[in-house]
Amino acid sequence: MASPFISSLLLLLISFFTLDSITLARSDLSQIPQDILTQQKADRVTRIPGQPPVTFKQYAGYVTVNETHGRSLFYWFFEATHKPEKKPVLLWLNGGPGCSSIGYGAAEELGPFLMQKGTPELRFNKNAWNKAANLLFLEAPIGVGFSYTNTSQDLNELGDTVTAKDSYTFLVNWFRRFPQYKSHDFYISGESYAGHYVPQLSEVIFDSNKNVSKEDYINLKGFMIGNALLDDDTDQTGMIEYAWDHAVISDGVYDDVKQNCNFSVEPSTTECNKALDEYFSVYNIIDMYSLYTPICAVDINKTTTTQRKIIQGIAPKPFSKFDMWHKLPVGYDPCVSNYSEIYFNRPDVQEALHANVTKNIPYPWTHCSDSINYWENAPSSMLPTIRKLIDGGLRIWVFSGDTDGRIPITATRYSLKKLGLNIKDDWSPWYTYHQQVGGWTIIYDGLTFVTVRGAGHQVPTFVPKKALQLLRHFLANEMLPSKPF
């Protein structure tokens, strides 16, 4: 029998050579087959119109998720600004359902290039999330943004389940195209209806990893979701409570909703619908997604409305029947989405991004799809899935901008309380730069909840520095600063 010293030495040597081989796989492109390198080269984006100069690489294009139907999902990928071979890969998903992660996440929230008002130039985002990770944006499902299908019937069969399965197939095929990133830690993040997308995709990866070959194993470590739709009952209850508590609705409207609506029951009554009409009407004049910032009052060169058509079947079931639930989000510049919509419909921009290459997509690029009419498999609660993934050992953070009325902090607190997790560290302030309170945290057994002061629905848009700080601590699995610094 080997001595303890020799056994320890052997384990050390094995660990050294294993780590060395992983590092080599991450950095040595000479080990990648030529046909895959050719695919990567075809997706390489040298520069998009109006882009400031950068040193990191970017790629964009299509990944086929169903050969028979001709379904392809569009992605945009940015390598980390420094040492990408040592950084994790982070996938960002916007919600809707049916809204573009390119239009919102990449161009208006956390990508390296953001829209500017009144100019065809882009500005560099000094708080871009590719400072902390290799950053991947995906337009899903098909019918969203530049993603498409050659089988029109596919658009009538969309839902949570199809979205999760197609997104998983995309990831498997994307990592085959970029094998240098396959061994990296992988995380998923998103906001709003991504409260469905992110846990559901994580669950598919988690379950599939038990049976897939080593080639298709995805090194999922955790996910982080913001202002996320989690549970129909508590989300809708929390919206009403938040609106009353923030002086958005009157006592009379609040009392009518509380008296006539039971959000755990479907369908809602006539009296409840009447009360909810009164509740939603106030959001015609203020921004539901950010209570204290202005609305876009002057729509110059406007190519889209702030209202989406109603998609049948999405969650939450009672609220989704109302027109105002389908209002589009904005940001600090409440008209910025108008400019990005013009930008992504430019032929030179699409050519640079390898988007709409066949020119056969029968609709213009929009922030949120007008091609989706029906939605299937939208569960009333994501809490069982989250509980399963907590038990599976994934790192899970939930964050909430505290000026969002769409999926407010009140709703998220109700939802997380419903999980019934033990509290390890109760309501505590966390600090951002210049000794300022950035928000509050609750550390549960298996989940971290973070509030973000002064942020609306799209946290990285409103408080970009705080959002990047949040991401860095999540990826490092470190608590946010509990004392001023």
pLDDT at residue 20, rounded to an integer:
38
pLDDT at residue 4, rounded to an integer:
46
pLDDT at residue 332, rounded to an integer:
57
255 tagged catalytic: no
Instruction: State how far the Cα of 209 lies from the Cα of 220, in Å rounded to an integer.
Output: 9
251 tagged catalytic: no
404 tagged catalytic: yes
Q: Cα angle vertex 37, ends 36, 42, to 5°?
A: 95
**C-beta separation of 247 from 419 below 8 A:** no
Total-model pTM: 0.89
Which of the following is catalytic: 160, 233, 256, 404? 404
Instruction: State how far the Cα of 216 lies from the Cα of 344, in Å rounded to an integer.
Output: 33
Which of the following is catalytic: 196, 326, 354, 457? 457
Sorted by sequence, the CB contacts under 8 Å of residue 104 that are 6+ apart come out as 94, 329, 367, 458
pLDDT at residue 477, rounded to an integer:
97
Instruction: State how far the Cα of 245 lies from the Cα of 478, in Å rounded to an integer.
Output: 33
pLDDT at residue 312, rounded to an integer:
62
**C-beta separation of 124 from 54 below 8 A:** yes
pLDDT at residue 264, rounded to an integer:
84
* Structure token pair of residue 233: 């009952």
Cα Rg for the chain, rounded, in angstroms? Answer: 23
Our CA dihedral for 405, 389, 147, 218, rounded to 10 degrees, sits at 140
Buried b (16+ CB within 10 A) or exposed e, 149-185: beeeebbeebbbebbbbbbbbbbbebbebbbbbbebe
Which of the following is catalytic: 192, 337, 340, 369? 192
pLDDT tens by residue, 2-21: 454 444 444 444 444 343 33
Question: Scanning the structure block, which residue is given the tokens 């607190």?
Answer: 413
pLDDT tens by residue, 318-344: 666 666 555 655 555 667 778 889 999
pLDDT at residue 8, rounded to an integer:
45
Cα separations in angstroms, 26 against 176, 184, 234, 272 = 13, 8, 44, 56
CA 211 to the chain's CA centroid = 27
Question: Which residue type does 401 have?
Answer: G
3-state helix, strand, coil in the chain (%, to 5): 40, 20, 40
pLDDT at residue 21, rounded to an integer:
39
Question: Which residue type does 344 have?
Answer: F
Which regions of the chain are under pLDDT 70? 1-28, 297-334
pLDDT at residue 337, rounded to an integer:
77
Q: Cα angle vertex 331, ends 330, 336, to 5°?
A: 75
Nearest residue to 340 via CA among 367, 361, 359: 367
**C-beta separation of 203 from 188 below 8 A:** no
Phi, psi of 137 (to 5 degrees): -110, 140
**C-beta separation of 457 from 287 below 8 A:** no
